[in-house]
Structure 1
Amino acid sequence: MKKLKYILVFLFVSAEVHTERRRSAKAHLNVFVFLALLLVGIGGQAQQLQTYIQEAEANNPEIQAFELRYSIAEEKVNEANWIPNTEVSAGYFVSEPETRVGAQRARIGVKQMLPWFGTITARENYAIAMADAEYVDITIAKRKLALSVAQSYYRLYAIRAKQAVLDENIQLLETYERLALTSVEVGKASAVDVLRLQIRQNELQQQKEVLEEEFTAEQTAFNNLLNRESMMTVIVVPEMEIPQEAPFYDNQALSLNPELLKYDKLYESVAQSELLNQRENLPMIGFGVDYLPVTERSDVNFSDNGKDVLMPMVSVSIPIFNNRYKSISRQNELRQQEIETQREQRLNVLESAFAKAQSQRNQARIAYNTQERNLKQAQDAEEILVKNYETGTIDFNDVLDIQELQLKFQMNQIESVKGYYVQSAIINYLIN
Structure 2
Amino acid sequence: MKTKLIYIVVFLITLTSKAQSLQDYLSIAVKNNPELQTIQYRYKSALEKVVEVGSLPNTTISVGYFAQEAETRVGAQKAKISATQMLPWFGTLTAKEESAKLNAAAQLNNYDFAKRNLFLNVKTAYFELYELKEKERIILENIDILKTFENLALNELENNRSTMLAVLKIRMEKNELTNQLSAVQESFKAKQIAFNLLLNREENSNVNIIKEVGNLKSVDFEKEQITQNPKMLQLNNLKNALEKLELATKKEGLPTIGIGLDYGFIQNRNIVDLEDNGKDIVMPMVTFSFPLFSKKYSSKQKQLQLEQKAIELSKVNTFNKLNTLFEKAKSNLESSKISITTQIKNIDEATSAKKVLLAAYETSKVDFEQLLEIQQLQLKFQLKKVISEKEYAIQKSTLEFLTKNE
Q: Which amino acid aligns with 1:271?
A: E
Q: Which amino acid aligns with 2:144?
A: Q
Contact 2:19 2:208 in 1 (8 A): no
Counterpart residue number, 1:333 = 305
Offset, 1:319:
2.1
Contact 1:267 1:336 in 2 (8 A): yes
Contact 1:91 1:107 in 2 (8 A): yes
Offset, 1:206:
1.8
Query: 2 CA distance for matches of 1:306 and 1:68?
Result: 58
Offset, 1:239:
2.1
Unaligned runs of 5+ in 2: 1-17
3-state DSSP class of the match of 2:89? coil
Q: Which amino acid aligns with 2:309?
A: Q
Q: Which amino acid aligns with 1:408?
A: K
Q: Alpha carbons of 1:82 and 1:250: their partners in 2 closer, same or farther (altered >3 Å)?
A: closer
Structure 1 residue 416 and structure 2 residue 388: aligned? yes
Q: How many residues align?
A: 387
Moved more, 381-390 or 297-306: 297-306
Contact 1:242 1:365 in 2 (8 A): no
Query: 1 CA distance for matches of 2:20 and 2:227?
Result: 28
Counterpart residue number, 1:83 = 56
| TM-score w.r.t. length of structure 2 | 0.89
Query: 1 CA distance for matches of 2:324 and 2:271?
Result: 96
Counterpart residue number, 2:334 = 362
Counterpart residue number, 1:11 = none
Offset, 1:234:
0.9
Offset, 1:58:
1.8
Moved more, 300-309 or 217-226: 300-309
Query: 1 CA distance for matches of 2:399 and 2:84?
Result: 61
Counterpart residue number, 2:107 = 134
Can you list the C-alpha shifts for 1:67-123, whole angstroms capped at 9, x where unaligned?
111111112222233111121222233333333333333332222212233332222
Query: 2 CA distance for matches of 1:146 and 1:212?
Result: 25
Structure 1 residue 225 and structure 2 residue 195: aligned? no
Contact 2:20 2:208 in 1 (8 A): no
Offset, 1:132:
0.6
After superposition, residues 236-247 of structure 1 pair within 5 angstroms as 236-243=209-216, 245-247=217-219
Q: Which amino acid aligns with 1:315?
A: T
Contact 1:122 1:279 in 2 (8 A): no
After superposition, residues 166-177 of structure 1 pair within 5 angstroms as 166-177=139-150
Query: 2 CA distance for matches of 1:97 and 1:240?
Result: 93
Structure 1 residue 191 and structure 2 residue 161: aligned? no
Q: Which amino acid aligns with 1:174?
A: K
Q: Alpha carbons of 1:47 and 1:344: their partners in 2 closer, same or farther (altered >3 Å)?
A: farther
Match of 1:210 among 179, 183, 189: 183
Match of 2:31 among 58, 65, 78: 58
Query: 2 CA distance for matches of 1:59 and 1:170?
Result: 41
Q: Alpha carbons of 1:240 and 1:308: their partners in 2 closer, same or farther (altered >3 Å)?
A: closer
Query: 2 CA distance for matches of 1:415 and 1:46?
Result: 25
Match of 1:342 among 297, 302, 314: 314
Match of 1:323 among 295, 299, 303: 295
Query: 2 CA distance for matches of 1:423 and 1:168?
Result: 28
Query: 2 CA distance for matches of 1:280 and 1:161?
Result: 66
Structure 1 residue 160 and structure 2 residue 142: aligned? no
Contact 1:101 1:297 in 2 (8 A): yes
Contact 1:242 1:420 in 2 (8 A): no
Counterpart residue number, 1:13 = none
Match of 1:407 among 361, 379, 387: 379
Offset, 1:46:
12
Match of 2:65 among 92, 99, 103: 92
Q: Alpha carbons of 1:101 and 1:241: their partners in 2 closer, same or farther (altered >3 Å)?
A: closer
3-state DSSP class of the match of 2:210? coil
3-state DSSP class of the match of 2:21? helix
Moved more, 298-307 or 77-86: 298-307
Offset, 1:195:
2.7
Counterpart residue number, 1:67 = 40
After superposition, residues 265-414 of structure 1 pair within 5 angstroms as 265-298=237-270, 302-414=274-386
Moved more, 215-224 or 374-383: 374-383
Q: Alpha carbons of 1:86 and 1:162: their partners in 2 closer, same or farther (altered >3 Å)?
A: same
Can you list the C-alpha shifts for 1:210-249, whole angstroms capped at 9, x where unaligned?
1111111111122122221111111111123551x42344
Unaligned runs of 5+ in 1: 1-44
Q: Identity percentage over the alignment?
A: 40
Counterpart residue number, 2:76 = 103
Moved more, 309-318 or 147-156: 309-318
Moved more, 403-412 or 392-401: 392-401
Can you list the C-alpha shifts for 1:159-179, whole angstroms capped at 9, x where unaligned?
111111111101101111110
Query: 1 CA distance for matches of 2:207 and 2:272?
Result: 100
Query: 2 CA distance for matches of 1:252 and 1:303?
Result: 83
Offset, 1:301:
6.8
